């Protein structure tokens, strides 16, 4: 259990107790809202968890290395950004992977594009995001995030070189 | 409004909700089937895959219910007028900064933020502020920054952080424009599910 989980569980527990002290009825309503949301989200979340296993287990890092490392400049950044958007890799694997991308010769631009889309965009999340926030919102957020990632990557290349 | 007009609308809503549920069940079934099939056919990779999935499942089991409980309490206790005042149309730069700050709280992966963002929208927060909240949630988590510092160095981490933060504000404002449909006021909307009000 991570510190994040411990922290957020304690916050939720304290809020729940305070709420219970103030009104039993409202607390029950809140729990019902939470339960309904959990039921609504469960299939999507489980699917994401399965896809994480697929990516971590069956996409060898060497594929990613060869896909990102071979191209330079804007084309390389585009490829890296696309790959980062499609994949969803937990941070604990993503950052070491990015470091080895760089040591294998990938430019700053490509590595920055990869990391930025990796964190801001998730093709795996799309069904869940559409369900919660609507198709239009999802499209706009992901589209603009992709553009922003390319801009960040190009600026990084200018500032840090390569 | 007469009942005759309301009934088909509800029927439609129910039908479209059912269709969406089927979609993510399909997605889940496909992903799970692929996981099982690949771990049976590819030698020696299945263990790693299952371990990664189980680890994430455990993490989610501890995080997701807590986030949803906080979301439920927020829906019940926080007044719509309060959200409108601080995060609504007239909240300006301050509203956006509040949202960016809220997004940096360490709470796990991006998809956990979606129900929270939906709750903010239902309570009357501006679209641009909700976009800023999600972008900040995705890009500015403190544990991730520490990993980046360790593996990619301080200059890479600081430069990427600075550029990303700077871009969140224009991205959110442009995004709000693109989200607005003609005839829509953009102040949330009566999506229901507000519980006790």
Q: Is residue B188 part of a domain?
A: no
Q: Is residue B109 part of a domain?
A: yes
- Report the pLDDT averaged over residues A10-36: 95
Alpha helices in B78-153, H assignment, sequence order: 80-87, 92-104, 113-122, 127-139, 142-152
Q: Is residue B101 part of a domain?
A: yes
| HSE (side-chain half, CA atoms, 13 Å) at B126 | 24
Nearest to A122 by CA among A46, A52, A38, A40: A52
3-class secondary structure, A159: helix
Does residue B183 surpass a pLDDT of 80? no
Contact B80, B120 (CB under 8 A): no
Nearest to A30 by CA among B197, B170, B98: B197
Number of domains in chain B: 1
Does residue B53 surpass a pLDDT of 80? yes
Report the complex ipTM: 0.88
The rounded distance, in Å, linking the Cα atoms of B63 and B59 is 6
3-class secondary structure, A23: coil
Residues in chain A within 8 Å Cβ distance of B62: 1-2, 5, 9
Residue found by looking up tokens 């594009």 in the block: A113
Q: Is residue B185 part of a domain?
A: no
Q: Is residue B2 part of a domain?
A: no
Full residue range of the structural domain in which residue B86 is found: 79-179
pLDDT on residue B9: 57
Residues in chain A within 8 Å Cβ distance of B151: 95-96, 98-99
CA distance A162 to chain B (A): 12
**Which has more pLDDT, A73 or A106?**
A106
Q: Do A26 and B77 touch (CB under 8 A)?
A: yes
The rounded distance, in Å, linking the Cα atoms of B164 and B143 is 16
Q: Is residue B111 part of a domain?
A: yes
Q: What percent of chain A has pLDDT over 70?
A: 96
Q: Is residue B153 part of a domain?
A: yes
pTM of this structure: 0.83
| HSE (side-chain half, CA atoms, 13 Å) at B79 | 4
The rounded distance, in Å, linking the Cα atoms of A30 and B74 is 8
Nearest to A47 among B24, B58, B152 (CB): B24
Q: Is residue B42 part of a domain?
A: no
């Amino acid at each position: 259990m991570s510190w994040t989980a411990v922290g957020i569980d304690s916050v939720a527990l304290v809020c729940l107790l305070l709420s219970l002290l103030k009104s039993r009825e409202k607390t029950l309503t809140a729990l019902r809202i939470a339960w309904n949301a959990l039921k609504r989200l469960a299939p999507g979340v489980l699917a994401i968890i399965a896809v994480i296993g697929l990516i971590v287990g069956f996409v060898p890092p060497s594929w990613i290395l060869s896909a990102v490392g071979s191209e330079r400049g804007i084309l390389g950044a585009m490829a890296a950004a696309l790959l980062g958007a499609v994949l969803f890799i937990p941070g604990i694997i993503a950052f070491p992977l990015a470091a080895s991308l760089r040591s294998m010769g990938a430019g700053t631009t490509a590595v920055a594009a990869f990391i930025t889309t990796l964190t801001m965009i998730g093709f795996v999340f799309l069904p869940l995001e559409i369900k919660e926030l609507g198709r239009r919102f999802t499209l706009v957020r992901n589209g603009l995030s992709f553009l922003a990632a390319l801009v960040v990557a190009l600026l990084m290349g200018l500032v840090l070189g390569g | 409004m007469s009942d005759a007009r309301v009934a088909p609308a509800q029927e439609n809503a129910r039908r479209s909700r059912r269709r969406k549920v089927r979609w993510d069940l399909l997605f889940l079934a496909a992903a799970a089937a692929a996981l099982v099939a690949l771990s049976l056919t590819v030698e020696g990779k299945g263990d790693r895959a299952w371990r990664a999935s189980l680890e994430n499942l455990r993490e989610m089991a501890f995080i997701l219910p807590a986030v949803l409980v906080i979301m439920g309490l927020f829906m019940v206790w926080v007044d719509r007028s309060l959200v409108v005042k601080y995060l609504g149309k007239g909240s300006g730069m301050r509203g956006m900064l509040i949202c960016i700050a809220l997004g940096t709280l360490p709470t796990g992966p991006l998809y956990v933020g979606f129900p929270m963002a939906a709750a903010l929208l239902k309570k009357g927060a501006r679209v641009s502020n909700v976009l800023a909240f999600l972008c900040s949630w995705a890009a500015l988590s403190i544990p991730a920054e520490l990993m980046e510092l360790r593996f990619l160095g301080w200059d890479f981490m600081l430069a990427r952080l600075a550029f990303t933060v700077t871009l969140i504000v224009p991205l959110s404002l442009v995004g709000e424009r693109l989200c607005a449909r003609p005839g829509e006021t953009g102040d949330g909307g009566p999506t229901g599910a507000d519980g006790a009000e």
